[in-house]
Each structure stands twice: as C-alpha cells, then as structure tokens.
A = this chain, B = another copy of it.
Amino acid sequence: MRRVTIHDVAEAAGVSLATVDRVMNGRPGVRKTTIEKVRQAAETLNYTPDVFAAGLAKKRLYRFHFLIPDGPNAFMEDLSREARSHAVTMSGARMHVHVEPIDAFDGHRVAGTLAMLDRSACDGVAVVAPAFPEVRAAIDRLQARGVPVVTLVSDHPASTRQHFVGIDNIAAGRTAGRLMGRFLPKAPATIGLIAGSLGLRDHSDRYAGCREVVERDFPHLKLLKVREGRDDNARNADLVKKMLAEHPDLAGFYNIGAGSRGMIAALQASGRSGDIVCIGHELTPHTREALMSDVLDAVIAQDPGHEIRSAIRVLKALCDGVPIIEGQERIRIDVFLKDNLPDISELPDLPG
C-alpha cells in the first residue's frame, strides 16, 4: 500500500511532473484538455498531496497574534493559558502563536494594538473584541491590510472579521432561561439578573435569549431590570445583597457575565442560597466549588481549549485559502451541573 504521488499521477496522465505541478498548484500555461487529463488521473488514483512533504517544501510560517484580556478573570486566564500552551505544542508545525494581553475596557488601546499589526509581522489575528466602535474600525483596517482576523468569545458582527469563534450567546441565554424556569416551581416569583455590561455583545445576547424564553414559556416569572456589575466581584456581591433585600420573593439569580464569585459569596452570606436557583457562566474554581456545594444550580460554559484550537485551525485555513469546515468549528454550549463536572486535571501544563 504505497502512497500515491505526483509521479503516479504524471505517469497515469501521460504528462510530466512539471505539468502535474502546474495543474495542482494552479499555475498558468496548461491547456484545458491537459488540465482535465491530470484532474482525471488524480481522481481515479485517489491522489491526495502529502501534507508533510507539502508543508516542508512550502516552508510557510504561520505567525498568529492572540489578543486576550488580562486582569482578574478566571475564564480569560484559562483562555490565555490555553493559547500559550498551544504556542509551545504548535511550534513544531511552523506556527508561532503570540499572546498579547489587552485591556478589554480600553477600546483606544486595543485599537492601537491592532493598528500596529501588519502582514510583515503577522499572518492572522484572533481578538476578544470589546464592543467599541474604534475596535471595529481597527479590525476592518487590519483586514484591509490583508491580515485575516477572527473574533474570539465576543463578536463584532458588523465588522469584516472573517469568522467568530465562540458560542451562540443567544442560545446560551435561552438555555439559562429554561433551566431557571424548570428548576423553579410553577409559581409566581422574581428573578434577579446581573450582567457585566449590556454594552458587551455577549452579555446583551444572553439577556435577550433568557428573556425570550422566560417571557414565552414561563410567564409567571418576573425578570428584574438587569443590573450591571462590570464583572466585578465586589460590585456583584453588593448588587445581590441589595436585590435580596428589596425583593422578598426573589427566587432566582442569573449572572449573565463574569464575577460569579461575588454573587456566590453574597448568596452564601445571606443564608438563602438553599431556596434560590442560581445560574452563572464559565467553569472556574469558584463556580465549580459553588456547584458542588449547591449554591450554584447550573453553569453555562464554553471550553477555552476548544476555542483556541478552533481559532488556530480557522486562521490557518484562511491563510491557506482553504474552506472552513463549519461543523467542526462550531463551539458547543456546555451545561454543567454538579454531576458532570470534568476533572480538574484538564488544565494544560505550561513549562516554566
């Protein structure tokens, strides 16, 4: 079972290696009938180019920049850790993955960072795009300069970015809404909602999804106005405390964004966590522990490892000009209860 090589194709088509090469790589100067002959031969022999040989010969180098927020956010830390970990494992595959921390709340700085990139330094960019117009403009300019851009986790749908790597946040919100509705008894009750900011696209999408489901399928539940805690634990704790005091019939909390730790702490301190259905996002040591101790009832999550790997695959496909397999690149919405938590050992090791 030897591999089929271009030699075999050349022989079968009755042409030379050079011609096969011209056809395979779309180079000019081949008659249409000859092209067809070669195509036929390749088809019947079931020829597929050897990726190793091609990779070696092309001596292409993929230099990707990942712009990921830093700061005290466990999910972003995981994302960044995964990216750095892949920088190591992929370096043998001619990929240089550079992770650049950004400040998600400073649109100017992020736009500035994007503005400094160009084709000479970078073959693709993945960015957790904060929802500032200047960021969108910077993405568009970067694309115009010929550098493919994908958005990561948080999208800018109106931009020219090639692809979005992340979950369908409307569906995530719907899922949270349904779990809330079904976990609660079928009786009138009030639900508290906390977001980082409704200016963030992922947060507003989740809210829209949750609201849609609750209003349609659980009309006995009343959603309170969304409070914005800027993903800050202290602020979120404060908000939870206030809402609990103001609404004695409060039966559920949905934290749309990060900073679940603050909500968890406040709820635990209130002593009412047993009666209150509480749903948050992202699997972190804190949400994990809160699930185990029944403070949190469900966690909606996305897998940072999958997202990084998907972003790398997509950027590579864009560089190579090959189509993206949409099915493989769709990021699943993970639903975690205390019963299906993955082992902690899943975090990748980083050398040094």
Contacts and interface: CB of A to CB of B under 8 A. Distances in A.
- Copies of this protein, total: 2
B348 A325 contact: yes
A303 B332 contact: yes
A188 interface: no
A40 interface: no
A345 interface: yes
Interface residues of A, number: 56
A340 B48 contact: no
Contacts of A175: 337, 339-340
Contact of A332 (B55, B91, B327, B332): B332
B335 A335 contact: yes
Given A182-B182, A337-B179, A326 B345 contact: yes
Contacts of A251: none
Contact of A56 (B46, B56, B337, B348): B56
Contact of A327 (B53, B297, B328, B345): B345
A305 B332 contact: no
Nearest to A121: B1
A339 B178 contact: yes
A53 B51 contact: no
